[in-house]
Amino acid sequence: MSAPSRLGRYPVRRRIGSGAFATVWLAYDEQLDSPVAIKVLADNWTEDLHARQRFIEEGRFLRKVESPHVVAVWDAGELPDSRPFLVMSYADQGTLADRLELDALSVSQALHVVGQVGAGLHALHQRGVLHRDVKPANVLFRTVELDGEPQVSAMLGDLGLGKAMDMSSRLTMIGGTPSFVSPEQAQGEPLDARADQFSLAALAYLLLAGRAPYNHASLRSAADPEPPPPLGNGLPDATEAVIARGLAKDRDERYADVPAFVAALTESLAGRATDEPPTWLPVDPELTQPAPQGELFTELSDQPVASRASRRRLVGVGAAAVVVGLLGGYVGHEVLNTERTIEDTSGTISVTVPEGWTRAVDTERWVPPGAEVDQASLSAGSGEGWNTNDDPGEGVFVGLLQGESLPTTVPQHPECDPPRPVDRDRRNGDAYMTVEFTGCDDDGFTFERVVQVTADRILWVQVRARDRGTALRVLDEVKVAGVGASA
């Protein structure tokens, strides 16, 4: 895909990210002398009136709010082929998800982020808008100047699931990210601002504890969560109490609003937070500037892997201006230069994989062995034969199959060392089993995982990777939405 020379009146510099529903480009506002991010609806959705309306609604929701902690929409337009586009704030320092890949946050940094995200949510709520998908990938960082010093500021992006509160009280589309979504949202109940408060409390838990409070594999398990484990890290009992109240299953037990939650959290950590340097997230000058005018666009797939990896270690993906997720359940279809989220044709399964794993993608349904009915599935790998012993590579397969209980065994891999002990447990209501194989194809790793996602449905995941960390990240990014008896 080559870069357009212009989008409307804006000259294009390079692509920031793309997904199933939209592509985001870094462009330049010549009149205001400023870089901007432009989100364009994907051409395969041009004729879908519902998709177009959802895209335009995101811009309208964002335009209602004037806050430094919500991505701003400066302009909107339509291309000659009738595709709408939104001109938005350019976040030059990546996302919170990128930042957490580098290192955990200190207590002060965590409060800094929670406070600013909370301010963005409150601004949305004041204008009658729910976000409904607060998570690290939707918290964007940009560089601002305060008293002549650069400072990193957090802002909320991606209102693809955003909804006006008066509409949420009448008709609510089930959506959200399972590990952060409130129980009432997972159940499809009418929503109010306390649903976003729950998600913010889950985000605060993640930043303070270094792990998410839940690891739901589906919205089904998110609908009836168990109390999360203690925060740990020597945090005060008062902080535990504040987080627990924000994560209360019954929304009536939560705080009255987001500012009340943030104030209580801040007070509970009095004495634990210290002043942080304004540039606690390192600023990368190369990423904060748009490419020189006239620079040729280069496809990411043509860039050396080493250069992409070293660039990521600086500030994650840096130029992630707006997560491209839009429509379709709780799935976020974002590509942040080195990763891509793909979903099957039915929108039931999604997984985020390294960009190099998208050379061979199959999103069609499959017929499980011994079955007669096809089921949702997807596969993505580094090449056509990634999951064969003849031409092994890296990749992931995810598929649903019928089953009222977990199998006693999983596929074996003679090319690997004997498997490690089986990890079998129940996590957030879903029974699961994971088997790890090491020493595969020159010290690679293969994981087999099965999860009981409904009473009669099992999710099977197979991952092959050269390093264990990548395999585990891909496993954790497998998502399932809307699985029912008829799926």
Beta carbons of 111 and 261 less than 8 angstroms apart = no
Q: Three-class SS of residue 238?
A: helix
pLDDT in tens, 112-151: 999 999 999 999 898 888 888 898 888 989 888 777 777 7
Extended beta strands in 148-279, E state: 149-156, 163-164
Q: In the predicted model, is pLDDT for residue 294 greater than 60?
A: no
pLDDT at residue 280, as a whole number: 63
Cβ–Cβ under 8 Å, residues 402 and 371:
yes
What element of type H or E holds 27? strand 22-29
DSSP string, 52-91: HHHHHHHHHHHHT---TTBPPEEEEEE-TTS-EEEEE---
Percent of the chain clearing pLDDT 70 (strictly above): 79
Over the chain, what is the mean pLDDT? 77
User: 343, 334, 474: which is closest to 16 by C-alpha?
Assistant: 334
Give the model's pLDDT for residue 171. Answer: 33
CATH 3.40.1000.10 in the chain, residues? 339-480
**φ, ψ for residue 129, nearest 5 deg:** -125, 135
Cβ-proximal residues to 386 (8 Å cutoff; 6+ apart), any chain = 357, 360, 392, 393, 394, 395, 464
Active-site annotation holds for 158: no
The CATH code belonging to domain 104-268 is 1.10.510.10
The CATH code of domain 6-91+288-315 reads: 3.30.200.20
d(CA 330, CA 477): 12
Q: Is the pLDDT of residue 298 over 70?
A: no
d(CA 422, CA 234) in angstroms, rounded, equals 31
**Which of 429, 431, 424, 375 is closest to 402 using CA atoms?**
375
Amino acid 431 reads: A
Question: Is 64 one of the annotated binding-site residues?
Answer: no
CB 334, CB 326: distance < 8 Å? no
Does residue 166 surpass a pLDDT of 50?
Answer: no
What is the predicted pLDDT for the residue at 281?
A: 63
Range with the largest mean pLDDT of 253-257, 290-294, 360-364 = 253-257
Rg (CA), the chain: 22
Between the alpha carbon of residue 213 and those of residues 48, 225, 227, 229, the distances in Å are: 37, 10, 9, 7
Please determine, for residue 92, whether its predicted confidence score (pLDDT) is greater than 90: no
- The yes-or-no verdict on residue 434 having pLDDT over 60 is yes
The CA distances from residue 66 to 71, 122, 311, in Å, are 9, 11, 33
Q: Range(s) for CATH 1.10.510.10 in the chain?
A: 104-268
Phi-psi region of 45 (alpha: psi -120 to 50; beta: other; left: phi over 0): alpha
Phi (first) and psi of residue 108, to 5 degrees: -65, -45
Candidate list 92, 98, 133, 284, residue with the active-site label:
133
Lowest mean pLDDT among 111-120, 295-304, 463-472: 295-304
Residues of the chain with CATH 3.30.200.20: 6-91+288-315
Q: In what order do the strands lie in the sheet with 395-402?
A: 360-362, 377-381, 395-402, 457-465, 444-454, 430-440, 423-427
pLDDT of the residue at 448: 93
Low-confidence winner among 55-59, 96-100, 174-178 (lowest mean pLDDT): 174-178
Residue 286 to residues 71, 184, 383, Cα–Cα distance (Å):
22, 43, 32
The better pLDDT of the pair 424, 181 is held by 181
* Residue count (the chain): 487
User: pLDDT tens across 308-338, in order?
Assistant: 222 222 222 233 333 333 223 323 333 333 6
| pTM of structure | 0.59
Residue 461 predicted with pLDDT over 80? yes
Give the CATH number of domain 339-480: 3.40.1000.10
